[in-house]
Structure 1
Amino acid sequence: MKIRDIIEGKKEWRAHVARVKALPQDYQIVYKEIQKYLFKVGPVDLTDGTGLLSGIVDLFEEGAALGKGVLDVTGSDVAAFCDELIKDSKTYADIYQESVNQEVNKAMKKVTDKKK
């Protein structure tokens, strides 16, 4: 990654954060919780730009402009809202599950090889 790319990425992130800070307080609170949730369980490509997070801000800006409450936009189960957004994306949990299965398969192969 070039320095120019890093600088450009920081500029994009700062602009994104400024958009979040311009949202009404209830939207900001829910956005921050969504962000935490997605960073913990979300898609592997979440940090590649701000595509998904930017889309959420777009949705929130539209909802706020229409005078809707944030839970009218997301529904009362915010985690389910997040899960629906990432349902077709590979997550860190998927990668971890794959690695656990690979380790178990290796260990089982060693056991069966010893029995032969």
Structure 2
Amino acid sequence: MGIRDIIEGKRQWRAHLDRVKALPPDYQIVYKEMQRYLFKVGPVDLSDGHLLAGIVDFFDEGVAAGKGVLELIGTDVAAFCDDLIKDSRTYADIYQESISGKPGTAER
């Protein structure tokens, strides 16, 4: 990864944050909670940025339709996030595999 890639990545992240800041306050609060949860749970492919950008797109559609954020996702933010990443591999999965001694992993 070169310096240009780093600069472009920062530019894309700042543009993403600008989109989040343009959302209504209740959407921003829920987005930040979702982001915090997803960073903690750690889906492996979170760093590519498609999941978070997709959430903002989904929220933009909700705002355009005049819906409240809880109408879109329900009252359980964690359950909504879990549903989003149910088919994604997480760092917790990788850890569990490493300690279970499955083939291809180092035994302790």
- What TM-score comes out, normalization by structure 1 length? 0.85
Structure 2 match to 1:42: 42
Deviation at 1:59, TM superposition (A): 0.3
CA deviation map 1:14-46 (0-9, x unaligned) = 000000000000000000000000001131110
Paired residue type of 2:31: Y
1:75 and 1:90 map into 2 onto residues whose CA distance is 24
Paired residue type of 1:21: K
Q: SS at the partner of 2:107?
A: helix
1:94 paired to 2:98: no
1:36 and 1:102 map into 2 onto residues whose CA distance is 30
How many correspondences in the alignment? 105
Structure 1 match to 2:26: 26
Q: SS at the partner of 2:67?
A: coil
* Larger Rg over CA atoms: 1
- 8 A Cα contact 2:59 2:69, kept in partner: yes
- 8 A Cα contact 1:42 1:92, kept in partner: yes
Point out where structure 1 has 5 or more consecutive residues left out of the alignment: 108-116
2:11 and 2:52 map into 1 onto residues whose CA distance is 15
Q: Which runs of 4+ in 1 moved over 4 A?
A: none
The structure in which a higher percent of residues are helix is 1
Q: Percent identity?
A: 72
1:106 and 1:78 map into 2 onto residues whose CA distance is 36
Structure 2 match to 1:9: 9
2:54 and 2:92 map into 1 onto residues whose CA distance is 23
- 8 A Cα contact 1:43 1:91, kept in partner: yes
CA deviation map 1:57-115 (0-9, x unaligned) = 00001101111110111111111110111011100110111122139x835xxxxxxxx
- 8 A Cα contact 1:42 1:86, kept in partner: no
Structure 1 match to 2:70: 71
Structure 1 match to 2:107: 106
Point out where structure 2 has 5 or more consecutive residues left out of the alignment: none
Structure 2 match to 1:58: 57
